[in-house]
Structure 1
Amino acid sequence: MAEETELNLSKITLRPYNASDIDDFLMYGGDEKVTRFTRWNTFSSKEEAFLYIKEYCIPHPYCRSICIDDRSIGFIIITPQSGDDRFRAEVGYALAAQYWGQGITTRAVKMAITEGLREFPDVIRFQALVELENKASQRVLDKLGFLKEGVMRHYSFNKGKARDMVMYSYLSTDDPMP
């Protein structure tokens, strides 16, 4: 079983989105279990998914599709800040529910941070805000060596409710990710 998991993890790639990802994107972007903790609402049509990919994902400096065999199964984004905050970047991700619990998100975040360190040389701090209730996402960041900095009470308003958020960070000077 471990060999099978390792084989699947080695097939994971990150690539920019393209218009042909609409159906795959809608599979996870249209699933309320997946979008429960995302900043975007659940998509209900191909048109909504297409517009999101076209207007947000494609032009973004680092919005990638998490893929297995070039099929989109998830979303990862690194958003570098600008001006005096250009040393900092926000990290976010989502994965199709059928792939949860297999180490895919952990692998994808590690790959993205490695690429982010190369693509954004000014960035020395990668940070992720995770809803307090999202224990799975917290486990991903813990496994990768992100530092849990603390809980920020009612920090974010998402899906009609004030949310407590956990701040995690990974610095370019931290030990390499496992």
Structure 2
Amino acid sequence: MEDAFDLAQISLRSLLLSDTDDFMVWATDERVAKFCSWEPYTSRDAAVDFIQNFTIKCFLFREICVGDHAIGSTSVRTKAGDDVARAKSAELGYVLGSKYWGKGIALKVVKQMVEMAFVELPDLERLEALVDIENVASQRILEKARFQREGILRKFLFMKGKSRDMVMFSVISDEARA
């Protein structure tokens, strides 16, 4: 039986170029990428490009760390842009190295990001998360973090060669602050 994981070891911080090797450990793992929009990374150059260019597109982008090692990432992306009707909404995402699945890390991180999102974005009313219908573990994490399951969006995304059903979850500011 595996020892319990000490969640106090988990921290969130900005992604650094020096994290490229750690990033490659989980970003090259097919099990990790299975429910993500991206294919497993195959080159350090692609990882460096992601670190330098994608992370700045997110309002909050944090590495999930054990000590000083990056083991995954989480982000909150605002919906504002050109869509004024969605200006009070944002989307939560997270990914974690498979070695760390089932240890309570993702739940801790989701709860932290919910708190951060509603503090850092005082006008935010809705934080949502889309989960592949087959990703039951991630659905459980969101439910434990007090997100409400809103329903299934049929054939919502075309990803990795097929149309995918997604489950929409959300937490509203009043619920998050309660």
Shorter-normalised TM range: over 0.9
* Residue number in structure 2 paired with 1:158: 159
Question: Secondary structure at the residue paired with 2:175?
Answer: coil
Question: Secondary structure at the residue paired with 1:43?
Answer: coil
* Residue number in structure 2 paired with 1:128: 129
Q: Count the aligned residue pairs.
A: 174
* Residue number in structure 1 paired with 2:33: 35
1:18/1:58 contact within 8 Å kept: no
* Residue number in structure 2 paired with 1:168: 169
Question: Secondary structure at the residue paired with 1:173?
Answer: helix
AA at the equivalent of 2:45? E
1:16/1:58 contact within 8 Å kept: no
* Residue number in structure 2 paired with 1:62: 60
* Residue number in structure 2 paired with 1:138: 139
AA at the equivalent of 1:75? S
Give the drift of 1:58. 4.3
* C-alpha RMSD of matched pairs (Å): 1.7
Percent identical pairs in the alignment equals 39
* Residue number in structure 2 paired with 1:77: 75
Give the drift of 1:85. 1.1
Structure 1 CA distance for aligned equivalents of residues 144 and 177 of structure 2: 12
Q: Which runs of 5+ in 1 are unaligned?
A: none
Give the drift of 1:35. 0.6
> What whole-Å deviation, never above 9, does each CA across 1:92-148 have from its counterpart, x for those lacking one?
111000000000000011111111111111111110010000001001001111000
Give the drift of 1:61. 2.3
What TM-score comes out, normalization by structure 1 length? 0.92
Give the drift of 1:60. 3.0
Q: Which runs of 5+ in 2 are unaligned?
A: none
Structure 1 CA distance for aligned equivalents of residues 124 and 165 of structure 2: 26
Structure 2 CA distance for aligned equivalents of residues 58 and 15 of structure 1: 14
Structure 1 CA distance for aligned equivalents of residues 57 and 140 of structure 2: 30
Structure 2 CA distance for aligned equivalents of residues 85 and 60 of structure 1: 15
* Residue number in structure 1 paired with 2:8: 10
Relative to structure 1, the CA distance from residue 130 to residue 77 in structure 2 (aligned partners, 3 Å threshold; closer, same or farther) is same
Question: Secondary structure at the residue paired with 1:78?
Answer: strand
Structure 2 CA distance for aligned equivalents of residues 175 and 112 of structure 1: 11
Question: Secondary structure at the residue paired with 1:150?
Answer: strand
Structure 2 CA distance for aligned equivalents of residues 130 and 172 of structure 1: 20
AA at the equivalent of 1:67? C
Question: Secondary structure at the residue paired with 1:44?
Answer: coil
AA at the equivalent of 1:133? E
AA at the equivalent of 2:17? A
Runs of 4+ in 1 over 3 A off after TM superposition: none
